[in-house]
Structure 1
Amino acid sequence: MVNATTASSLAEASSTIHLDDETRKKEIVASLRGFLKHQTERVSLYKEFNDAFKEYIGKRMTQEEYATICRIVTEGFVELSVEILALEAHLAGTPNAVSTTDSNSAASSSVSQRLSLNSPEHAQLIRAVQLLEKEKLALTVQGQKWVLAMEEQKEQDQKDREEELAADRVIAVSGSDANSRGDASASGDGDASATVGEAEVEPTEGDSAAPVTGRDQMTVKHSVEEWQIKLDENRDRLNQVIEDINDKLADIQEAIAVIVL
């Protein structure tokens, strides 16, 4: 007696299309070339993504415009991933069902069939690129976040310097006034000292907490130099990943050449 599991396996096997060797090779080549085409499209999306970020950092693009580009690029990445996963499954021998019509049936019922290439070694080539692309995207997004953080720190540092210069000018003016009254009475000297003291400790009007906030941020945030080190490390790793991707793509090109020849 055939149990349900065995019956299901037999049914699946009977609905699988087994190709002759020549047709199978053509399908494998078509799948690999299809992946390379998608990879070219992915590179174009990355360029659009990076170009938009440069425009945004250069203040030539608004935040809303940049967010729109990010959304469009993300949708493009998702669409490509779906297509690539289908190609990978197709090569591995577990593709999506292909619907065909049984012309002998009066009801023209749909028969689900599977096209099995049974080429896991070629599917693995695509999988290797996909894993590297996942890391590449993570590094790219991380790098952009760090650039924004570094730019924010630069602005904060500049603001702190301007406030320090303003405070120094107040002290210098107060000191000059005190020197001009050098021959004043002892009580007058005391008043001048009090004025200098107040100028040294009182913050400028309207932005009293800014210098303190800046110093507090420096204790919990990275300095510009530290951000730059992190960005350099990110860039080095990203370049290595891109190099690894190119090596894997070369392997795919070689695999195609071997099959064609």
Structure 2
Amino acid sequence: MVNATATANGIHLDQETRSKEIVASLRGFLKHQTERVSLYKEFNDAFKEYVAKRMTQEEYATICRIVTEGFVELSIEILALESHLGGHAHASTINVLAPPTTATATNDPSASSGQSSTNTSSRRNYSLDSPEHAQLIREVQLLEKQKLALTVQGQKWVLEKEAQVAQDIRDQEAELQADRVVGSDEENGEGAEQIESEVQATAVHDAEGRTPPQGASAAVANGGVKLTVEEWQAKVDENRNSLNGIVEEINDKLADIQEAIAVLVL
């Protein structure tokens, strides 16, 4: 509990006023947190639509840009609340990673600078000298940073898995086509030597006349490791479990903030 009177950066505050401002700051953070959850939902829903090919790459990139701008605005507001409560002044916002597509959405800070500067300029420029409450917000912010990184990583792995699924389908179709050719040639009495010569004649060669390695051999030759669909799915599942753990931690921290508010309003 706060004392009957307190001094914040030379400004004399009575207990009731200081408590009310702390509560207002914590409630303001919870409001921003709700907005952040909505942005995450929009981000994840857009990704699902993109993977399902119900959304174009350009449409997905546009939503990613809008969500990124929203994250930045919220982060600026939250950092101002944290500073007002008495936390350290953090110059940088949460690192918003680019969406995992070739159409990387670029963030344009000027698009939201007007509104953000208006909101932050109206914030009182003194500290309430309540670092324990500022720390509650800081802990959520750090968890949210981990959550965002895991979310983007998980989306990249989903795309990798989908790409491998498509490659497996192409490989299966190629094998079926090869089986049809072999079956047809065998019916016509043609031997394996002729089939091999046809393959050699149509093979793609590099500049020195060598046939480049194919399939898994190509992955090894190029310094990469080819993962199966099942292995990609295992990575996606592991990522999802990590995300669920982070979300549980965030919810616990939010419950602590709710409890802190309840204590202050008693």
Normalising by structure 1, we get a TM-score of 0.77
Offset at 1:200? 4.3
Partner of 1:108: none
Give 1:85's aligned amino acid. L
Give 1:63's aligned amino acid. Q
Partner of 1:214: 215
Three-state SS of the structure 2 residue aligned to 1:19 is strand
In the alignment, which of 173, 177, 190 is matched to residue 188 of structure 2? 177
The 1:206/1:247 distance shift into structure 2, 3 A limit, reads farther
Distance 1:42 1:114 in 2: 25
Distance 2:143 2:170 in 1: 41
The 1:63/1:203 distance shift into structure 2, 3 A limit, reads farther
In the alignment, which of 181, 186, 194 is matched to residue 198 of structure 1? 194
In the alignment, which of 25, 46, 50 is matched to residue 31 of structure 1? 25
* Runs of at least 5 residues in structure 1 that lack an aligned partner in the other structure: 1-12, 97-112, 179-191
Offset at 1:94? 6.7
* Runs of at least 5 residues in structure 2 that lack an aligned partner in the other structure: 1-6, 91-123, 206-210
Three-state SS of the structure 1 residue aligned to 2:126 is strand
Greater share of helix residues, 1 or 2?
1
Q: Tell me which structure has the larger Cα radius of gyration.
A: 1
Offset at 1:177? 1.2
Task: Map residues 88-127 of structure 1 onto 2, 5 A cutoff.
Answer: 88-92=82-86, 114-127=125-138
Distance 1:176 1:153 in 2: 34
Task: Map residues 1-261 of structure 1 onto 2, 5 A cutoff.
Answer: 16-92=10-86, 114-178=125-189, 192-193=190-191, 196-200=192-196, 202-203=198-199, 213-216=214-217, 219=220, 220-261=225-266
Distance 1:212 1:162 in 2: 19
Per-residue deviation, residues 135-155 of structure 1 (Å, max 9, x unmatched): 000000000000001101111
RMSD across aligned C-alpha pairs, in angstroms? 2.6
Offset at 1:115? 2.6
Distance 1:233 1:175 in 2: 48
Distance 2:139 2:127 in 1: 21
Normalising by structure 2, we get a TM-score of 0.75
